[in-house]
Amino acid sequence: MQLQLATQHNIEYYGEIGMGTPAQRFKVLFDTGSANTWLPSSSCPTTDIACQRHKQYNSQQSSSYVANGSKFSLAYGAGMVSGYLSQDTLHLAGAQLSGLTFGEITQHHQTIFESMSFDGIVGLAFAAIAWHETTPFLELLCQQRKIQQCLFSVYLRQQPVAAQAAGELLFGGVNSARYKGELHYVPVSGEGYWQIQLSGVAVRGKLIDNNVAAIVDTGTSLILLPQRVLGSLYAALGARMLGDIYSLSCKLEELPAVAMHLGNFTLTLTPADYVVEIEGLCISIFVPFNYDFWVLGDVFLRRYYTVYDAEGSGRMGFAEAV
C-alpha cells in the first residue's frame, strides 16, 4: 500500500484518506509521534475558524458510522484539540479499514491549526499511548491483515519539484529505490513511541550528549533537544548570540557535521541539513525544550529513509535517502 505525500514549504507532509461510506476525503498528517486519529467534525461551532477552513466529517452521511460519544482532548506541541469519539471505515490506498475509532474535533484551541494544510491526523504509534480501550490505526491495519508485514516506511524528499510527490509512505514494505547502502536496524527502546536510544551525539568528535532517548516523529518539522545540551551544541558549532538568537556562519563549508551514534553506526547531519538562512541570518533547526530526550523531525527524515517495523518487540531501520 503506497501513498504519495504532499508538503507545504517542507514544514508539514500529508496524504489523502477517506472516512465513512461512501468515503469522505481528507488530507491528513501521518504522525509517528502519536497514536490517535482525528478529523474536524461537522458539528463544530461556526466560531471555530480552523474547523470552518477545513473539510469536516459528517457522520449522518456515512452508512458505516457507529456512535461512541466519549469526550477527549489531545495536546500537541503546536496546540490542543478536543471533541468526541466515533467509529467508521477508513479508506487508504485502495484498502478499507473497518471499525476504526477516531476523534471528531469540535474545538481547535490554538489559531495555528487555521493555517495547516492538512485536515486531521492519523497516528502511527503504538496502543500504549492511544485512547483507553481503543485499537489505533497501525495495530488495526495489521490485525485485519491489510498488509503482510506489520511495518511501514517513510521517504521525504529533500527538494521536491512541482512534478514530483514530496514524499512517500509505504505500508507493508520497503522501497529500496529510495535509499542507498544498507538499512541499519536498532530496537525500539520505549513503550508507545517510535523511540530509539542514541549512544551519543557528537560534533568534531566531542560528545554533546550520550545514552539518550530519541523519538522519530513525522509530525515535528525540526529537531528538538534537551535544554541542558543547547549551550554545548552551539558552542561546538561556533554559534554567536545576536540578541536572543544563536547565529551560525553562513559559510557551510566551515561548519561541522553533527553525528548521532546508534550502536555501531552513525547518522550524520551536515550543515546543509541543519542550517537555514533567513534574510541574511543563518540559524539552526535545533530547538530546545524541557524534556530529557531528542525528537528527530522532518529535517532528519529528509536525510534518512526510515523503516518502522512493529513485528515482535519492534525495531527501526535507517539508510541515507536518495
Q: What are the tens digits of pLDDT across the range 10-48?
A: 788 999 999 999 999 999 999 999 999 999 999 999 998
User: For residue 94, what is the enclosing H or E element?
Assistant: none
Give me the pLDDT at residue 283, please: 92
The amino acid at 185? Y
Helix ranges (H only) for the chain are 49-52, 137-143, 227-236, 271-274, 298-303
Q: Is 217 a catalytic residue?
A: yes
Beta bridge partners of 117: none
Out of 31, 88, 209, 298, the active site residue is 31
Q: Which residues of 217-253 are buried (b: 16+ CB within 10 A; e: fewer)?
A: bbbbbbbbbbeebbeebbebbebeeeeeebbbeeeee
Burial class (CB in 10 A: 0-12, 13-18, 19+), 177: exposed
Q: How far apart (Å, rounded) are the C-alpha atoms in residues 141 and 235?
A: 46
Mean pLDDT (the chain) is 93
Q: Is 46 helix (H, G, I), strand (E, B) or coil?
A: coil
Q: What share of the chain is helix, strand, coil (3-state, %, to 5)?
A: 15, 50, 35
Q: How far apart (Å, rounded) are the C-alpha atoms in residues 282 and 259?
A: 20
Q: How do residues 79-101 score in pLDDT, each as one tens digit?
A: 789 999 999 999 999 899 999 99
Q: How far apart (Å, rounded) are the C-alpha atoms in residues 123 and 108?
A: 17
CATH number of 175-321: 2.40.70.10
Q: How far apart (Å, rounded) are the C-alpha atoms in residues 106 and 45?
A: 7
Give me the pLDDT at residue 78, please: 66
Q: Select 2-170's CATH number: 3.40.50.2300, 1.10.1060.10, 3.10.180.10, 2.40.70.10.
A: 2.40.70.10
Residue 248 has pLDDT above 90, yes or no: yes
Do 2-170 and 175-321 fold alike per CATH? yes
Cα separations in angstroms, 60 against 18, 157, 160, 250, 271: 15, 39, 39, 55, 52
Average pLDDT over residues 230-255: 90
Give me the pLDDT at residue 163, please: 59
Give me the pLDDT at residue 64, please: 97
The domains of the chain are located at: 2-170, 175-321
Q: How do residues 151-171 score in pLDDT, each as one tens digit?
A: 999 999 866 666 578 899 999
The contacts of residue 49 (CB under 8 Å, 6+ apart) are 108, 111, 114
Give me the pLDDT at residue 246, please: 87
Give me the pLDDT at residue 159, please: 61
Give me the pLDDT at residue 7, please: 87
1 closest CA partner among 64, 90, 116, 62:
90
Q: How do residues 255-302 score in pLDDT, each as one tens digit?
A: 999 999 998 899 999 999 999 988 889 999 999 999 999 999 999 999
213 closest CA partner among 190, 229, 187, 183:
190
Asked if 98 contacts 89 with a C-beta cutoff of 8 angstroms, the reply is yes
Q: How far apart (Å, rounded) are the C-alpha atoms in residues 38 and 56?
A: 11
DSSP for 197-251 reads EEEEEEETTEEEEEEEEEEE-TT-SSEEEEHHHHHHHHHHTT-EEETTEEEB-S-
The contacts of residue 40 (CB under 8 Å, 6+ apart) are 50, 51, 54, 55, 56, 57, 104, 105, 108, 119, 120
Average pLDDT over residues 137-146: 96
Percent of the chain with pLDDT over 90: 82
Give me the pLDDT at residue 160, please: 60
315 closest CA partner among 148, 189, 130, 170:
189
Average pLDDT over residues 211-237: 95
Cis peptide before 160 (omega within 30 of 0): no
Residue 66 has pLDDT above 80, yes or no: yes
Asked if 319 contacts 179 with a C-beta cutoff of 8 angstroms, the reply is yes
Out of 217, 273, 298, 309, the active site residue is 217
Average pLDDT over residues 207-233: 95
Give me the pLDDT at residue 80, please: 86
Residue 68 has pLDDT above 70, yes or no: yes
Give me the pLDDT at residue 161, please: 63
Percent of the chain with pLDDT over 70: 98
Q: How far apart (Å, rounded) are the C-alpha atoms in residues 92 and 174?
A: 18
